[in-house]
Chain A
Amino acid sequence: MMGPLTALPLTLCVLFAGMILVGVLDALAWRLLGRVPIDDDDRLTLGGLRAVIRRQSISTERPDLAAWRLAPALYFGLAAAGLALVPVAVAVGRAPVDVEAGIVVWGAVEALTVIAVFLHGWSSNALLPLMGAYRFVAIGLSIMLVSMFVLIGAALPAGSLRLTAIVESQRELWNLVRQPLGLPLFLLLGLAITLRGPLDYADAPDLAGGTSAEDNAQLRLAWQLARAAMLVAFAAMAATVFLGGPLGPVLPGPVWLALKAGLVAAVLVVLGHLLARPDASRMMTFIWVVLLPLSFLDLAIAGLEALR
């Protein structure tokens, strides 16, 4: 079992390394897929950091300042907690935090992420962030259900909610193959909690940056860093549950996990740049009427397959 003294630095180092990689991925996508007249998110780059130093930080007339500062901190803490769940090496118990109900903890991370984004939009007491926050809760809550069914589908063959057991159950067949609908549906959740592309209802351009419309200086950088951290945590979780995590023929476990997580992060960045965002009401109907039945189907497939 990895003690807290080793788990803590390991998770934070992996998180910061991942965030720098996400910064590079974003810059690459921004260059390759083309630039758009209005572009908003900062990245963990020297320019981003330099932009913050010597900048004045303004609040709005009567914000909930404590909640405004708590939001990025909660968002970043949840990303770190989510990443800590991921087993780094193949040997059983090599996860920084190995708890018996691993995917339930990830569910709690998702639920609290919806709260962090709502708090971020609510606390500045300005209309555009407020509308972004409320719109996001509708989609965040709905897509969370779909991800629950998909994760449970992955837990069936493992016979346990522990992430190391889920990795163990994929020794001969990855969950990506065992339940084909699993990863696509889970990626949609990734787009929602990292505020990217088609499910970015919180910080959308039609609300002038949505919940971050009133952010500036440190708060803006803190929010963007937390967003990048959540992408790292989500990519690692998706790689663990669907792509076998550290399992792989030649390379050592952590290298495989890094490669798979990097791939998932790249796919998310590209989807974020490519797909258009439907109307919020239309997306909510789509999630409940199409995606939820699909996740039921995915669960049924996983169930039948686990019986074999």
Chain B
Amino acid sequence: MAVSEAIPRGHRQVRYFAAIGEDALAWVEGLARDAGLRRVPTPRAASLLLIAGRLPERSWPALRRVHDQMPHPRAVLHWGEGAQPVPDAVALAPAATPAVAMRALQGDLDRGARGSSPDLLPNEPPAPWLGKGPHGQGGEGMMGGTPYGRPMTMRGDELRDGLRLDAHAVTLGPFAPMLPPGLALDLRLQGDVIQRVEVMQPPFRDAMVEAPFAAAIDRPMSAAGLERARAVHHLRCLGRFCALRGAAAPAARAYASAYRATIGGRVDLGSLRRWLWLSGLRPGIAPGLGTLSAAQRGCLSGPALRAAGVPDDLRTRLEPYTGVGFAPIARQAGDVRARIDQWLAEAAQALDLAARLEGLPPTTFAEGLEGPAGALGAPAGGDRGDRPALDLDALLRGLEWGQAVSVLASFSPDALRRMLGAAG
């Protein structure tokens, strides 16, 4: 059961919207264990904006819009290093725990001791419209002009049933809670079916995921610790997927198991497997959803590749693992279902390996090792440079919105960033 402190007297739950930057996803998801903080999916329901990690410059305009969409009184807390996107944000060092600062901030807001942070964008309508048009609503005729500041959607082509209705062009921003942090997609939708996808911004870098593995390349690290880190990564991805599908209890179980794995406690994945079976997660996903075409499979790596039938795992060639008889797990289907099963199976395998590798002295993996989302360093044999970029348009075209979100959530955010060919 997740460790949770009771809400301290006199404080109500702090509702915050998290704008997650680089290397901060794990931190923010760790906050869920504190009963006094509630992360809400829209800024409309939040009184605090938590900027976690470093935000690249290109995402600052989006952050300003999210900040201005919050109702007054509101405050901003920047938890991490890097430049300040919002002028009067309260800065907090990465090492500090934000719960205390957030409650203090909320208390100040409630008592009025702290002013509400002002708008960052000018107070003008998107397009001047007042006074134009018969009712002064800025439009002409039936579909013309910019009524009330915005044009109306026009008709466009249709993939599936040939009804040429409104092709709604929209960009879903870097801080959409249902997408990996930082991913901005330019979508053309007919209803809720995706006609065309274009990646405006790839997901933010998340070095936290691979930090222990990257460190193992140049200095000795305990193999058991690496395997536990891999299990934590897989369980968190599973928890994120379950939360998006509305299965709150299994998601909480997955995050609780990940937390216990980080503090080295005993983790019982059997109960998690029962919760997942009970929740009906797998039958709810259409079989074959999110299967990559043969040409596209080249860009897969790590668990996603093994779920697509290619049992390619560096650990089969590395010393401590071959000693304890490691054998990679592979599945054939390569769809969303297979990737979820792969996460769960590899998490169990990693925990089992961690137990077996416990006594071994720390080793360095100078020529590279298997990270949670694919091979790291310069492994003997296959080099990593020639991997083709993932064509997201081919993958998501024709899917309804819920299916598209599930396909994106079936890859780990960092693996998705790498597959979209983002540098660095």
Contact = CB atoms under 8 A, between A and B. Distances in A.
Given A61-B126, A213-B44, A216-B45, A277 B246 contact: yes
Interface string B24-57: 0000110111010011111011010000000000
Interface residue SS majority, chain B: mixed
Interface string A275-301: 111111111000000000000000000
Contacts of B42: 208-209, 212-214
Contacts of A62: 147-150
Contacts of A306: none
A34 B126 contact: no
Contact of A34 (B45, B168, B256, B402): B256
Given A37-B39, A40-B45, A275 B406 contact: no
A207 B401 CA distance: 9
A36 interface: yes
Interface string B221-263: 0000000000000000001101111111111110110000000
B44 A198 contact: no
Contacts of B41: 38, 40, 205, 208-209, 213
B328 interface: no
Nearest to B1: A34
A58 interface: yes
Contacts of A4: none
A280 B245 CA distance: 11
A56 B71 contact: yes
Given A134-B191, A205-B178, A36 B284 contact: no
Contact of A276 (B45, B256, B284): B284
Contacts of B178: 205-208
B170 interface: yes
A67 to B, nearest CB: 16
Contacts of B253: 34
A35 interface: yes
Contacts of A35: 2, 4, 32-33, 35, 252
B176 interface: yes
With most chain A CB atoms within 10 A of its CB, the pick from B32, B110, B168, B177 is B177
Chain B, interface residues (CB within 8 Å), range? 35 or more
A207 B406 CA distance: 12
Contacts of B4: 31, 35
A34 B248 CA distance: 8
B2 A34 contact: yes
Contact of A198 (B110, B243, B246): B246
User: Top 9 closest A-B pairs, CB basis?
Assistant: A34-B252, A278-B284, A276-B247, A62-B148, A47-B12, A277-B246, A276-B281, A56-B71, A216-B44
24 contacts: A34-B2, A34-B251, A34-B253, A35-B4, A37-B29, A37-B255, A39-B248, A55-B47, A58-B44, A62-B149, A197-B246, A204-B246, A204-B402, A205-B41, A205-B177, A206-B245, A208-B41, A215-B45, A273-B249, A274-B250, A277-B246, A277-B284, A279-B284, A282-B284
Interface of B: 1-2, 4, 12-13, 15, 28-29, 31-33, 35, 38-42, 44-45, 47, 69, 71-73, 110, 125-126, 147-150, 168, 170, 176-178, 191-192, 239-240, 242-253, 255-256, 275, 278-281, 283-286, 289, 400-403, 405-406
